[in-house]
Chains A and B, each alone.
Chain A
Amino acid sequence: MHVIVCGKVIPDSSVTLQIDPDTKRMRRKDLPHELDPAAAVAVEEALRLVERHGGSVTIVSMGTTDATIGIRRALAMGATAGVHLLGEEFAGSDTLGTAKALAAAIRRLPSYDLVICGTESSDSYSGIVPVQIAYLLGIPPLTFANKVEVDGNSISIHRQSETGYAVVRAQLPALISVTSGLNEPRYPQLKGIMAARKIEIQTFSAGDLGLGPDDVGASAARERVMAVGAPPMRAAGRIIEDDGQGGKEIADFLAAIRVV
């Protein structure tokens, strides 16, 4: 089977993220980057599926030149093809723009059986790009999977729910989004790193995909950040010393934020 993984490459999560007050976007330049841990889980699941059922894994990522390190990580883990959506035109894309770009790229690739995404990215948490991609590709979305099984032409997952899980099934080709606890991604070994270096990463610009300023980039965004500022609550973080009343103070706080 041919499995396509859509993954983000994000600034290293060990670095404090900041938003530039002028552009109102996350400061990504000059930061070390890594494959989003949620995407690593998706790559791992894809690799396990093709180890079991035969086939190959392709990683697709949209990002600046910083993204190549993450794409190479996926290749070093065992993916055999990498696709990089690169270009200024993509900058400032909202979720739907990102989904349109990824879907357009996927349509250019050899036919696939399954698309896997992380449920949410570790830096921006919207959690909606996967279903947008599925809709644009016209394939069934199976989301929040904490267990995945492929049987012939159908896929079934355990879809997390508020009360437990649902067993959900669809015919391939389909898209699944996987939760962060699904597996422990393998780390790249030397052999994988050397093999990855021989793989040429395919690059697509927005023009290559037939996408224009009405589809991707800040110009196409359907949502606009108006202002970014320090939130009142965190700025007023209170530190007290326990003098026997610490527990009560916490209880008061919990009541104030309506947890109890």
Chain B
Amino acid sequence: MVEAAPNTEKLDEYLRDIVQAVQAACTTAMPHLQDDSAVVDRALHDCEELLGMVMEGHVDQWVA
């Protein structure tokens, strides 16, 4: 386990929340690939939103 540097704690927390959310969105959608496209579409959209936020990289907003 890598020790977190003190002022990156908030950042680590935030990224962990994002990663868990993406994982949860995928595991929610996967069982419904065949029977419920609405759930799948929503999950894809939500993942895009989460990852888009990370890609934009406004770290100061994340740790505000």
Does A touch B (CB under 8 Å) in the complex? yes
- Using a CB–CB cutoff of 8 Å, the interface residues on chain A facing chain B are 30, 34, 68-69, 72-73, 76, 184, 186-190, 193, 196-197
A69 adjacent to B16 (CB under 8 Å): yes
Cβ–Cβ contact B53 & A69, under 8 A = no
Contact A193 B16 (CB under 8 A): no
- Taking a contact as CB atoms under 8 Å apart, the answer to whether A188 and B17 are in contact is yes
Size bin of chain B's contact surface: 10 to 19
- Say whether A34 contacts B20, CB under 8 Å: yes
B5 within 8 A of A: no
Bits for B6-46, please: 1 = Cβ < 8 Å to A, else 0: 00000001101110110011011000000000000001001
Q: Does B1 contact A (CB under 8 A)?
A: yes
The residue that B46 contacts in the complex, of A30, A69, A73, A190, with Cβ under 8 A, is A190
Which listed residue (A30, A34, A68, A187) contacts B28, Cβ 8 A? A187
From A30, A68, A188, B21 is in contact (CB under 8 Å) with: A188
Please, which residues of chain A bring their CB within 8 A of the CB of B50?
A: 189-190, 193
Give the residue among B13, B24, B27, B43 with the most A Cβ atoms within 10 A.
B24
Contact B49 A189 (CB under 8 A): yes
Residues from chain B with Cβ under 8 Å of A68 in the complex = 13
Name 13 interchain pairs, CB-CB below 8 A, sorted by A.
A34-B20, A72-B13, A73-B17, A184-B28, A186-B28, A187-B28, A187-B43, A188-B17, A188-B20, A189-B46, A190-B18, A193-B18, A193-B50
Measured between beta carbons, the chain A residues less than 8 angstroms from B17 are 69, 72-73, 76, 188, 193, 196
Task: Pick from A69, A76, A189 the residue with the most CB of B within 10 Å.
Answer: A189
Known contacts A30-B1, A72-B13, A189 near B21 by CB under 8 Å:
yes
A18 to chain B, nearest CB (A): 16
List the B side residues contacting A187 at CB < 8 Å.
21, 24-25, 27-28, 43, 46
For A34, A72, A190, A196, which residue has the most chain B Cβ atoms within 10 angstroms?
Answer: A190
